[in-house]
Structure formats: C-alpha cells, structure tokens
Amino acid sequence: MKSEILKTEEALGFVKQTFETKLKKQLSLTRVSAPIAVLKGTGINDDLNGFERTVDFPVKSLDDQKAVVVNSLAKWKRLRLKELEVEKEHGIITDMRAIRPDEDYSKIHSIYVDQWDWEKRICESKRTLSYLKEQVEKIYQALKETEKAIHSEYEEITPILPEKIIFIQSEELLQMYPTLSPKERENKITEKFGAVFLMGIGHELSHGEKHDGRAPDYDDWSTKNEEGFLGLNGDILVWHPELKASFELSSMGIRVDKKALKYQLETTKNSYRKELFFHKMLLQEKLPQSIGGGIGQSRICMFLLRKKHIGEVQVGIWSESIKKEVRNYGVQLL
C-alpha cells in the first residue's frame, strides 16, 4: 500500500506533466534546456528587487571567474529566442531552479524556487495591453483544463476556478481599497472574484508607493497602455481555499523595448547596467520583442492539490520549530 507522501509525489508528477502539456499547446511553446547558473557581471541574471543576495561561486576552468545561480531566466530566455531564431508567435519553455537565501520562510515561501519559465517572440505591434490579456486568458485556460483533469484523476478535488479571470489595474485596486496594504487589497479582490490578473506592477501609484517591486530590465512597467494606465505586466492571482488568502501563481509581462529600458534604468538609478552585455544588446535593438513570465511549479501544485504548505509539494530545508509547527496542524513535509 502506498504511503501518503508517495501518493502526493505521484500527484505532483501528474499535475506538472498535465499543466505543461496544456500550456505549451495554448502558447505555442517548445521545451528547451536551461542553465542553473550564468556568469556574473553579464547582466543576464534576474536581479529581482535589487537587494537580494545571490548564490555565486568561482569556476576553476575559467580562471576562477564567478558564476551565479540564476534567480530566474527572465533575461536569458530573450537571448535564447534570438539564438534559436524562434519565429514570431512561438516561444520556449523550460524548468527554472533557483536558490534565494534571503527568502523569508512562510507557508508559501522557501529558499528553493521552481517554476516554468517561458518566453514568446512577438512583433512591435503586439506590445499592447490587449495582447497581454489574450495571453493571460490562454494561461488561465490551461490552468482550468488541468484542474478538470485532476478532478477526473482524483475525484475528491473539486474544481473551484471561476469561468473567467478578471483584469484590474493596480491603481484601480488602490482606489477601491485606499486604506489597505497591497497584500490586503489582493486578498479583497481575489476573494471576491476567485481569479484575478493584477496589472501594472513596478511603478509608483498615485499615493507615491509601488504596489510591489519589479526589476527595471525585463517587464515593461512604465509604458502607458491603451487604458491610460502605466504598465504592460502583471500577476495571476487565485483564491486559495485552504489558506483563505490570495495566492500568486505567475508574474509575467511584455518585455522592455529600448525606450522603456532606458527610462526604467534611469528611474531606478541603475544606469550603470547600460554597459552590461545583455543591456547593450537590447539598447542596440539586437534582441527580439517578447512577452514572457514565470509560473510557479510548487505554487501550481499547492493550489491544484489544495495543499496548505509549500513543504508538502517540494523538498526543502526547514528549522525544527517549523517542522514542529506544521505537524501540529497535520501537515507532512516532503
């Protein structure tokens, strides 16, 4: 007889294989190999909010030149689109594995990050909010189809995703709940609608604060979109029934062009990056226009399998106090 943990491992494999298959079909993606580390000082690694420490190490065969474990593949994928000569409206998908030592432990965070990183080549005319919404709806359709497949395989897991995902700007959300924190605003809107794409994240809102931080050199959060708001990016949020909270599954967006990159680097006081390998190529317009994002693998599994703790869907490093705490509310860590 299979143990509960072995049953969970089996279900994790089913979820990941099913969702990836459906996502590739929806977005016209081809699976490719990806690096676990890139050379330091090239500008290829994702700098997240700019203050998190990275895991780096010397490479003996390169005269001890430093390499760094990727935080995500946001910029590497765009280079790969060019190198592979991917056609417009087609893209790539890969597994990303990261170690983020500054991550605070919680029910939904560990120091290990696993996600599907995807990137799709587009033409200049597709750098619009309407196109971004179309791609979000395709991802959401893959998610709904996966949820139905899980119900067929595991009858006790009942589908809960609403028929449609709702789109809302971060500035609109602020106006709706001006006295609440960003996370509290996300909880309110996601509990109300079940599934939300929160748009325009990275720039300052009308009260002088950002909804959340974004690196200046991949998502375009400064271009005014056709609705009159700033930003061509956003997060896919769903309501997690076990956690009773908003739950982020994906961060994605249309990528910066030359104009947006220059503005965002200057605004965030990162102009020195213009001299890095990746940024030089982009400023010289040698990289394709693209849209892309990361979709959390453990996050997808947590939501679709209705798990209460990320340690139920990924093997991690946990303190004794956390192990004791989760045992008290019936959670088995992998």
Catalytic residue among 100, 185, 214, 255: 100
46 is annotated as an active-site residue: yes
Q: Tell me if residue 235 is catalytic.
A: yes
> One of 95, 248, 273, 332 is an active-site residue; which one?
248
| The pair of three-digit structure tokens given for residue 223, joined into one six-digit string | 């271009």
User: Which runs of consecutive H residues, i.e. helices, occur in 63-207?
Assistant: 76-83, 129-153, 170-176, 182-193
The reply to whether 100 belongs to the active site is yes
Which one is catalytic: 46, 147, 217, 312?
A: 46
- Please say if 222 is a catalytic residue: no
Catalytic residue among 20, 47, 80, 115: 115
Active-site option among 119, 217, 220, 235: 235
Q: What does the angle CA 37 – CA 41 – CA 42 come to, to the nearest 5 degrees?
A: 75
The distance between the two most distant Cα atoms of the chain, rounded to a whole number of Å, is: 61
Torsion of CA 75, 77, 80, 85, to 10 degrees: -120
113: its two tokens: 């990050």
Helices (H), 28-86: 76-83
Catalytic-role residue among 110, 246, 250, 251: 251
Q: Where are the beta strands (DSSP E) in the chain?
A: 29-31, 37-39, 56-59, 65-69, 91-99, 112-121, 166-169, 195-199, 233-240, 245-254, 290-296
Which of the residues are catalytic? 46, 100, 115, 235, 248, 251
